[in-house]
Structure 1
Amino acid sequence: MNASHTNDPRVVLPSAPQAAAPFRFPVVAAIVPIVASLAIWFITGSMFALVFAALGPLAATGSYVDSRITARKNSRTESRRFAFELSTTQSAIAAHHRRETADLAERTPPAIFLVRDVHTDSSRWMREPNDVVPVHLGYGHVRSDLAIDGGGTQERLDPSIAESYQQLIESASHLQRAPIAVNGRLGIAIFGVEIVALSLARALSIQISRTLSPATTWARFRGAFSREEWASHLPHRVLRSDGGADADYGDHEFASAHWGKLGDDKPSVSISVVFSEQQVPSGHRIVISAAGDSTTVVSHPDKHQRRDFEPSFLGREQALAWALAAHDIASRDGLATHDAAVPDSVRFSELLAELGNDSVPSERSSRSLQSRPAVGAGGRTLVDLVANGPHAIVGGTTGSGKSELLISWVLAMAAESSPGDVNFLLVDFKGGSAFTHLAELPHTVGIITDLDESVASRAFASLRAELQFRERTLAQAGARDVSELDTLPRLVIVVDEFAAMMADYPQLHALFSDVAARGRSLGVHLVLCTQRPSGVVRDSLLANADLRISLRVNNAADSSAVIGSDRAAELPAQARGRAWVAHGSSSAELVQFALATRHDIVAVASRWPATYRPRRPWCEPLAASIPLGALVEFSTIRSGESAAHFAHSGAPGTVRSRGVQHGGAVSFGLTDLPEEQRQTVAEWSAVRDGNIFIIGAPGSGKSVAIATIAEASMSASSTDRSDQELAIGAADGRGEDEAAVRVLAGGREPAGFWDVLAELHGQLDRDEAPGQRRASILLTIDDLDAVIARFDDDYRIAVLDRLARVLREGPARGIAVVASAQRITPALQSLVQLMPNVMRLRLNSRQDFVLSGGMSADYNPDLPPGGALWKGARVQIALGEAFPPVPMPARVVTLRSTENLVIASSRPRITAAAIAAAGWQVRELDGAPGSERELLIADTEKPIALIGSIDEWQSRWGSLALLRTHNTVVLDGCNLSDFRQLARTRELPPPLASGSGHYWRITEDGADRVRLSI
């Protein structure tokens, strides 16, 4: 049986099965009853007594059979017990072996497990062993410490039972495929197959480096070990040599590694790899043969350790990964003895003084962006955005010195690279003040802040065009990347608070991912700074940002997202500018970034010619005021140029040509095309573009836009009057020459607007004679929504129909319409469909902008007066010198006091007084029907004005129709129903302005307006 305590290293073998007791047939018991029966029979003579003679043998036979059955049952029970206890003992042995194997693996884990445990426990270095340095060789048979008790004398046992005992004892005495460990201080030498020997030695070296503290131990690598990169990244003080004269045992050294105490030249641990067993150096008491088919410990002070085993190997990349992680942890905990102290603070002026004037490059060198903005343990730290990048991620919490780091880094690059080598685009999304003074550098091409959304949007749009520009430049030069060109500087885009920028402009993820993917060859580099890199910077950016810098962060996740470890979360809060710098596969380096002042910025700027002006990746924003006359000098502004002179060119009254035409179009402003890195003239062509609808809030510049388009068209007509070109001739619009061009202004007064539409309808109805030149007319309507609202319901329907016909048929007949409105009312819905070109000025709300047909993303509430969206682009309308077109007055005919009048009035007495004052002899309508005709033919000195009420004239049915043939019929104060009954027509008369003193005169064509002579 097993001991009761599960961890007891002793196991008791099960007792052997008990043999059945021997049993003989009971002869005496069977004979005695027979003798007794015979005696009774003899005495009594009864034959019945003989019956008892058979009971004895029967009872004896039964007892015998019962004993045999019981013996067999006991034998089977013992066999089952023994089998069960045997199985239990085997399970106990296996469980104990598993614990032993686990204990061995925990004490000496294989090197591959150490590599997987990246976060190595540095406290292990605090428990450095003095005598024994256990190292894991591999796996094989290992003697168990399990003791076996019991079992009895095996000579007396059944052979099968004895064999079972033997198997238990043999299985308990050894562990199968258990970790094999040896004492590294005995010195280990390996010979045999080169690749096998080196892989095993590499695994042993990592284990020893993990056991011996770098604070108290140095390491020396010779031969092949000295040429393996991972060895130089160990946290210990490392000495390297290629063997030869420096070797301990001559020229036959293949590889060796030694670890010793600091201050003691005698190595305490040694591992060597040689070609043959004869070359094993002295001091190596453990010798391993690494043959191709087997690995054997051929020499060991303990003969039981000499065995075959399955070795544990380690590759170079795995060893390098562990060495880098161990170095980082040792540096974090102050155990890396070869690291000097990092200064608490550094002034940028000190770094600049070390450069001196001699370091200013005389020739362009676009192959690198070397800079030295920080000081590490070994002195000034070299950071090259080209070699180590091409892009960089900078993390740091509030107050850790992110802005100071970026400024120092930009200044360091500017100090060592000319403006022809590198330009800076600075993006500040935390208030806009961090990079203000860096604008003094000749390298700086722009500063983008979150304070001006429109400027930021157009700058980001220009970045896409910048990538295309660089692609075209490389293609034209036949170059593969920017380093092969002498004319294209590198562009470094520095973003402070990248997370805030992405929150405001989420669509920039695609743009910055594109820059990250193609930036290396195009010479565009990103430096992205944020407080929380974890989850903000996408994988597409991280994959191309090999240069990582982390100041102090709040948690380990943010630190790991930048530099792959949590040590940036442990930086002290008071160490402003203290950071970890890592790039590629190198370990992170602790540095102190310099702090720059305004004087340092001036000093760096003074190193380069002040006259240098770098090419900007976008044009200046459109000026809020652009003279119309300046457009004559304008063709196209591209990135790097300036349009500032257009804001002030030309003084009022200066004689100059205006309204430049481009292919039958007139110029009325400037168009901003940041996505193409240029600005160009905003043009409108009646033939190409048709009618224009201008919509904007009060004060947005609607009237100015109409005036500018009219003036530009008028100026253009003075130089070219081609049949297909829209221009303006007579500003008053009353020229009678059909070949002349005119501008018609529809005012807010319904009467004048009605007459303008009537005239345009006549133009559309008129047949043109062969060879007759078609007139070009521009109809301008300011505040169309207000104009339509002034008409009564009956007139409004007619006005909308007439205006719709002008919009529909006008462009083909030389008539174009430019109309404006504050909003699109239901009455304008059908008209807007006939004006496909909509110019959207500033509107009061995003909803109004969307209702006008614009996209919500294009809404800009900060547009200046005259700023608009035209054909999908931002336009600034120029300012002309002419006033807006003057609306035409309503056409009114003056009645002369030489003709008889027939007047139907709703106010006869008032009308009679006015007619009399104008010189007519007034007579009232009375008497029998028909007498009115005699009154008008009476011979009088003055013309007669026969006046009657509307009801009186309606009662004299047909009288007005008869009198109209020889007299003038005038209606005063009538509504449309009265007019239609008296004039017997369904046509609408021209509207009369309220209080104007105008009357309707019935004519053969319908009606017109008349007034009395004064």
Structure 2
Amino acid sequence: MSTTFSPRRAVDVPGPLVPPVPSGDVVGTVETIDGPATPEDPLALLDAWSAPARPPVPLVASSVPIVGAVVLWLVTSSPLALVLAALGPLIALASVLDGRRAAHRDRRRHEAEARERRERVRADVDRRLHAERRRRLFRHPDAAGYLVRDGDVWRDVPERGGRIVVGRGDAPSGVRVTGGVGDPESDDIRARAAILSAAPIVIDLAGGVAIVGPPVLAAAVHRALVLQVCLALAPGVIRLVGAGEPGLEWADELPHRHATTGERLSIQSGPLPDADIVIAVIAAGEPLPAGCRTILTVESIDRAHLDHDGSVRRVAVEALSVPQAREIARALLLRARRSLGLSVVDDRPVEFAETIADAPPSAIGGLVAAIGRDGAGVACVDLVADGPHAVVSGVTGAGKSELLITWVLSMAATHATTEVSFLLADFKGGTAFDALRPLPHVAGVITDLDGSGARRAIESLRAEVRWRESELARHGARDVRDPRVEVPRLVVVVDEFAALLGEHPELHAVFTDVAARGRALGIHLVLGTHRVSGVVRDSLLANCPLRLSLRVSDPADSRAIIGVDDAAHLPGDVQARGVALVRRPSDHGVQRIRVALSSAADIARVAAASRGPRPRRPWLPDLPRELALDELTAAHAIDERTLVLGLSDEPERQTQRVVGVTVQDRGLLVLGGPGAGKSTALALLAGQAAEVIEIPPDGEGAWDAVTRLAESSPIGGVIVIDDLDTLASRVSADYASMLIERMERVIRSAGDSGCLVIASAQRLSGPAARLGELFPRRLVLGFPSRADHIAVGGDPATFTVDAPAGRGRLERIAVQVALPAKAPHSPLSIDRRDDPCWHPDAALTGLVTRHRSRVRDLLPEWAERGIRCVDVDAYVADPAVTADGRVVIVGDPDEWQREWRLLASVRADHDLVIDTTCALDYRVLTSSRELPPFARPGEGRAWIHRAGADPVRIVLFPADVRSDRRGSGS
């Protein structure tokens, strides 16, 4: 590294730049040691001299000469022999004196040897301490150590991983000294060997450091510690967060400030961002920042107190001035650009006009787009080379819409409409892409406000795929790059893909299909979403190799789109808006860029400079809300056997055609809510048929009509049933099942008899569900709620709240029902009138009724016709009353059943009239299991039973008789 580092003084910090060290250490010069120290034998000192034990007095040796002298004197009697007795004590005394002399000589020799050993050990201790200090400084250099030893910068040394030198101070040494027991000087040597002075004090970086002290000095120490970490760990292993605040401008050029991966190192003193490691300056008395376990209280360069893990020690710290820090940061930035290929993104906004002016030319057939800048210049992406499809992720407010707009505008600025067109879909409010509408390249803009229009536009992509496949097949080409195929590329851009799928989840299959086949066909997807996990399925994501991510809230989303969690750690401030991470399939890592901002003036300039015709729109206009039958038949050729229903819309085929029904269809059921157009649809079809049989809406008429149709099906014609779901309710419970049974026979036999049954219903429940299943075709019109729509078998995805009258789905195909040439009458069936009032015409007639008062009201009229009325009992008493004129025998059910012979006679040979009020006794009275025709209760109806003939419903009591009796309370 070319940085010049002064070991003496920082520019704005008084005192030495690094702490003083003992003699022999040169500050800023660290000898290179290639490996750990080889263990050495302990140094041995001589123990203090101890005097040997005194020898005992030689009593035996001293006594022998005395005994010998006495014996000799006794033998010789010479006094001279007694003199020899004194030799023993003299010899003993001499021996004691000689021992003391030898001990003094040994002591002097031991002390000389000990002094020599201490000097030698003292020198060895100094040498070993010095060597150990150098080894420790090599293993854990501070900022000065890295600067003078360029090869150690960003070197991966396992012993250094995750550790930082906070200063120099006393530390236990590895030098071992033994011996010297009892010698004070040896004790001093051992104490000196046990402590390594000026040793690098190393702590775990993960514990963080909080620096307290005078602001200028604390800031200088802070710079030294931060730069030491940046010198030790390369960008990508560590990255800075929190830089950019006042006082930290020197860190802006550090390559770690622009790294997108690695552990997050916060260096700011204010509110801390989400960080893994914290090195911060705090004022005295402030609480310790979260993540800090170490406090470094600085008093001067050579005096600071380190509070770590419950112990406090004194250290000397390292400090750097602002110019020195800036110079080191610039040197590291140059190194990163040269060795790591790092690109640095400018935090200033990027204008689209500047970006597009410097954009490289697009390759033939490519879609190169300049979308912003990185540290090396203009940042470009190519949907053809890097795609064919892309995913853009980012939280709300990160700049996702601006990125999509810039991307589209850049492609439009460098390509003609014959080369590329755009289909833009905005599902986060409907206004994001409004500014791009003036571009001639834009084939259409759809929004979440379009309702079903957005869905059909996306479904049209299937038709676009088929159309492009046919174009390629027609020219015998493999893909759109073939010059014979003049088909522009289509880029489908979706903002808030998650919202689109939330409203129309079935469209995911459409996008998956397009993504799988789009490359060769020239269809490209750019899907913007606030999150990828759980939204974009793997089958679709696998075909979107071009990934761009702005800031996301969840690391899992970041990993899902770019493979690393960097996007979750992008700053969330306003200044960082528009910063994106790009990953192409060929990239080994992510590229950080700043997205260019476009303006209305930029869009206007691009639109004005665009060349080429308007592109082909990939979908047809929506169906009209009203469609007249006359206009439809005039514009389309229609088979005369077809009853026209309306106009269908098939966006997946990009076609709209006339649809109808024929006799071969056998039946059509029209379902819908109130005002949906059910009756209009029936009237439309009935108005085109040559013969129409309408099932009346009242119970009697419905029973009679269905019964006739079930007994003798007509040949040809259209049978119309409005409100099929109310058919069973038009008659009483005992008639309902029979009516439904007969209606089933009518519907089942319609195909054999050449009839077409068309019916309408609002809901399918109970008996109506049974009948509904018999209709081969079903038209589902609008319903007020999704639940009603689903209940009749409608597809939940096709439900629309604001569907116009007549809009529906015929076998999943959208249809607009045409309006008949003239307004239909309502109801479809003709109003029924009461049948003529019955009058007896046989010689003898039996009448079963509980309303004798009403019969009395009829007597005057019957008398005028020559009819007499007698009771059952009177007739039994005198049968001769029938001799002259016509007679009506009147009685209630009980009376008739008591006179069972009379009842059998009348039932077998005469007419038996049974009032509907006696319906419960009908089968007993007639001995018939068959139900009579349905009659409306309370309407004066009755049945005539004739032997061998079907019962006939009649009006027994005219309306005036019924109303009079009701008014009088009878």
Range into which the TM-score falls when normalised by the shorter chain: 0.5 to 0.7
CA-CA distance at 1:775 after TM superposition: 0.7
Task: Work out whether 1:1007 is the aligned partner of 2:951.
Answer: yes
Partners of 1:425 and 1:479 in 2: CA distance: 24
Q: TM-score when scaled to structure 1?
A: 0.57
Partners of 2:539 and 2:63 in 1: CA distance: 109
Deviation track 1:191-244 (CA, whole Å, cap 9, x = no partner) reads xxxxxxxxxxxxxxxx99989xxxxxxxxxxxxxxxxxxxxxx989xxxxxxxx
Which of the numbers 935, 939, 953 marks the counterpart of 1:992?
Answer: 935
Amino acid in the other structure paired with 2:651 = P
The change in CA–CA distance for 1:633 and 1:613 in structure 2 (over 3 A counts) is farther
User: Any residues of structure 2 matched to 1:223-242 within 5 Å, and which?
Assistant: none
Amino acid in the other structure paired with 1:970 = V
Tell me the residue number matched to 2:730. Answer: 790
Which of the numbers 465, 477, 480 marks the counterpart of 2:478?
Answer: 480
Deviation track 1:257-286 (CA, whole Å, cap 9, x = no partner) reads xxxxxxxxxxxxxxxxxxxxxxxxxxxxxx
Partners of 1:915 and 1:321 in 2: CA distance: 124
How high is the sequence identity, in percent, across the aligned residues? 35
Partners of 1:351 and 1:137 in 2: CA distance: 37
Which of the numbers 841, 865, 876 marks the counterpart of 2:816?
Answer: 876
Tell me the residue number matched to 1:614. Answer: 615
- Confirm or deny: 8 A CA contact 1:404 1:596 kept in the other structure: no
The change in CA–CA distance for 1:695 and 1:529 in structure 2 (over 3 A counts) is closer
The change in CA–CA distance for 1:436 and 1:711 in structure 2 (over 3 A counts) is farther
CA-CA distance at 1:1000 after TM superposition: 2.2
- Confirm or deny: 8 A CA contact 1:752 1:891 kept in the other structure: no
Tell me the residue number matched to 1:495. Answer: 494
- Confirm or deny: 8 A CA contact 1:513 1:540 kept in the other structure: yes
Partners of 2:129 and 2:467 in 1: CA distance: 73
Amino acid in the other structure paired with 1:758 = T
CA-CA distance at 1:476 after TM superposition: 3.8
Partners of 1:915 and 1:419 in 2: CA distance: 94
CA-CA distance at 1:887 after TM superposition: 5.0
Deviation track 1:703-750 (CA, whole Å, cap 9, x = no partner) reads 2232233334x1xxxxxxxxxxxxxx33xxxxxxxxxxxx22222311
- Confirm or deny: 8 A CA contact 1:750 1:993 kept in the other structure: yes
Partners of 1:506 and 1:434 in 2: CA distance: 22
* 2:432 alignment partner, SS class: coil
Deviation track 1:925-947 (CA, whole Å, cap 9, x = no partner) reads 157545776444526xxx66565
Which of the numbers 643, 647, 650 marks the counterpart of 1:673?
Answer: 650
- Confirm or deny: 8 A CA contact 1:907 1:973 kept in the other structure: no
Task: Work out whether 1:701 is the aligned partner of 2:673.
Answer: no
Tell me the residue number matched to 1:748. Answer: 697
Q: What is the Cα-based RMSD across aligned positions, in Å?
A: 5.8
Once the two structures are overlaid, the 10-residue window that deviates more, 378-387 or 404-413, is 378-387
Q: Which runs of 5+ in 1 are unaligned?
A: 1-5, 17-27, 35-92, 109-123, 140-145, 153-206, 212-233, 237-319, 335-341, 636-656, 715-728, 731-742, 765-773
Task: Work out whether 1:910 is the aligned partner of 2:854.
Answer: yes
CA-CA distance at 1:367 after TM superposition: 0.3
Task: Work out whether 1:970 is the aligned partner of 2:913.
Answer: yes
Q: Which runs of 5+ in 2 are unaligned?
A: 1-35, 47-57, 65-126, 158-172, 180-230, 236-253, 257-333, 959-970
- Confirm or deny: 8 A CA contact 2:350 2:372 kept in the other structure: no
The change in CA–CA distance for 1:856 and 1:548 in structure 2 (over 3 A counts) is closer
Task: Work out whether 1:921 is the aligned partner of 2:951.
Answer: no
User: Any residues of structure 2 matched to 1:517-596 within 5 Å, and which?
Assistant: 517-532=516-531, 545=544, 547=546, 549=548, 562=562, 569-570=570-571, 573-574=574-575, 577=578, 583=584, 584-585=586-587, 588=591, 590-591=593-594, 593-596=596-599
Once the two structures are overlaid, the 10-residue window that deviates more, 1000-1009 or 579-588, is 579-588
Amino acid in the other structure paired with 2:866 = Q
Task: Work out whether 1:938 is the aligned partner of 2:884.
Answer: yes
- Confirm or deny: 8 A CA contact 2:875 2:881 kept in the other structure: no
Tell me the residue number matched to 1:172. Answer: none
Partners of 1:985 and 1:829 in 2: CA distance: 31
Partners of 2:923 and 2:554 in 1: CA distance: 88
The change in CA–CA distance for 1:462 and 1:488 in structure 2 (over 3 A counts) is same
CA-CA distance at 1:556 after TM superposition: 8.0
Amino acid in the other structure paired with 1:328 = L
The change in CA–CA distance for 1:616 and 1:966 in structure 2 (over 3 A counts) is same
CA-CA distance at 1:972 after TM superposition: 3.5
Tell me the residue number matched to 1:306. Answer: none
The change in CA–CA distance for 1:673 and 1:566 in structure 2 (over 3 A counts) is closer
Partners of 1:542 and 1:960 in 2: CA distance: 86
Amino acid in the other structure paired with 2:709 = L
Task: Work out whether 1:778 is the aligned partner of 2:718.
Answer: yes
CA-CA distance at 1:101 after TM superposition: 7.8
Partners of 1:629 and 1:344 in 2: CA distance: 61
CA-CA distance at 1:753 after TM superposition: 0.9
- Confirm or deny: 8 A CA contact 1:405 1:595 kept in the other structure: no
* 1:1000 alignment partner, SS class: strand
Partners of 1:543 and 1:556 in 2: CA distance: 19
Amino acid in the other structure paired with 1:405 = L
Partners of 2:552 and 2:954 in 1: CA distance: 87
Q: How many pairs does the alignment contain? A: 701
- Confirm or deny: 8 A CA contact 2:935 2:953 kept in the other structure: yes
Tell me the residue number matched to 2:117. Answer: none
User: Any residues of structure 2 matched to 1:377-388 within 5 Å, and which?
Assistant: 383-388=381-386
Tell me the residue number matched to 1:289. Answer: none
- Confirm or deny: 8 A CA contact 2:678 2:760 kept in the other structure: yes
CA-CA distance at 1:752 after TM superposition: 0.5
Which of the numbers 440, 443, 454 marks the counterpart of 1:442?
Answer: 440
Tell me the residue number matched to 2:456. Answer: 458
Once the two structures are overlaid, the 10-residue window that deviates more, 908-917 or 573-582, is 573-582
Task: Work out whether 1:129 is the aligned partner of 2:143.
Answer: no
* 2:936 alignment partner, SS class: coil
The change in CA–CA distance for 1:130 and 1:441 in structure 2 (over 3 A counts) is same
* 2:384 alignment partner, SS class: helix
Amino acid in the other structure paired with 1:129 = L
- Confirm or deny: 8 A CA contact 2:869 2:887 kept in the other structure: no
Partners of 1:322 and 1:516 in 2: CA distance: 38
Tell me the residue number matched to 2:42. Answer: 12
The change in CA–CA distance for 1:492 and 1:514 in structure 2 (over 3 A counts) is same
Amino acid in the other structure paired with 2:432 = A
Tell me the residue number matched to 1:710. Answer: 686
The change in CA–CA distance for 1:909 and 1:524 in structure 2 (over 3 A counts) is same
Task: Work out whether 1:983 is the aligned partner of 2:926.
Answer: yes
Amino acid in the other structure paired with 2:441 = H
* 1:481 alignment partner, SS class: coil
Partners of 1:665 and 1:991 in 2: CA distance: 36
* 2:686 alignment partner, SS class: helix
Partners of 1:841 and 1:538 in 2: CA distance: 33
Partners of 1:954 and 1:975 in 2: CA distance: 12
User: Any residues of structure 2 matched to 1:208-287 within 5 Å, and which?
Assistant: none
* 2:570 alignment partner, SS class: helix
Partners of 2:387 and 2:901 in 1: CA distance: 100
- Confirm or deny: 8 A CA contact 1:933 1:963 kept in the other structure: no
* 1:925 alignment partner, SS class: strand
Once the two structures are overlaid, the 10-residue window that deviates more, 452-461 or 751-760, is 452-461
Tell me the residue number matched to 2:758. Answer: 818
Partners of 1:514 and 1:621 in 2: CA distance: 23
Partners of 2:683 and 2:848 in 1: CA distance: 44
- Confirm or deny: 8 A CA contact 1:559 1:568 kept in the other structure: no
CA-CA distance at 1:802 after TM superposition: 1.9
- Confirm or deny: 8 A CA contact 1:394 1:529 kept in the other structure: yes
* 1:807 alignment partner, SS class: helix
Task: Work out whether 1:407 is the aligned partner of 2:405.
Answer: yes
